[in-house]
């Protein structure tokens, strides 16, 4: 396995087009190896004391830990929400060939 520390970043966008735009940007900048845009889902949460219920498009981003700050900044710049969901989880194990591909596909 390569020396990089791999991560999976979870975020959501209000629609498929805005998710596609951020996904394309992250790939063009070579700070993400792959962006998965899932079908819309329903989110229920509390925001500023009120229960919200809205449709969101989940996005999974595969990258490296060194690229996280740049990815977070790009999502925040593109996102309409005041506090967008941006969660990073380590990828502790994976196919060596796939993890090597993440390294080859991104700049650190």
Q: What is the pLDDT of residues 6-27, one digit of tens each?
A: 999 999 999 999 999 999 999 9
The CATH code of domain 6-105 reads 3.30.70.120
pLDDT digits (tens, 9 = 90+) for 57-73: 999 999 999 999 999 99
- Alpha-carbon distance of 78 to 60, in angstroms, equals 16
Q: Give the separation between CA 108 and CA 90, rounded to whole angstroms.
A: 16
The dihedral through the CA atoms of 71, 73, 75, 77 has a sign that is negative
d(CA 71, CA 66): 10
The domain segmentation of the chain, as residue ranges, is: 6-105
Task: Enumerate the β-bridge partners of residue 59.
Answer: 11, 37
């Amino acid at each position: 396995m390569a020396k990089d520390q791999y991560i999976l970043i979870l975020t959501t966008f209000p629609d498929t087009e805005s998710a596609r735009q951020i996904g394309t940007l992250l790939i063009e900048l070579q700070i993400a190896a792959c962006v998965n845009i899932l079908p819309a889902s329903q989110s229920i949460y509390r925001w500023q004391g009120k229960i919200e219920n809205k449709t969101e498009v989940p996005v999974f981003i595969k990258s490296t830990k060194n690229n996280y700050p740049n990815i977070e900044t790009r999502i925040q710049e593109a996102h309409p929400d005041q506090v967008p969901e941006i969660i990073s989880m380590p990828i502790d194990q994976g196919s060596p060939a796939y993890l090597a591909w993440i390294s080859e596909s991104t700049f650190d």
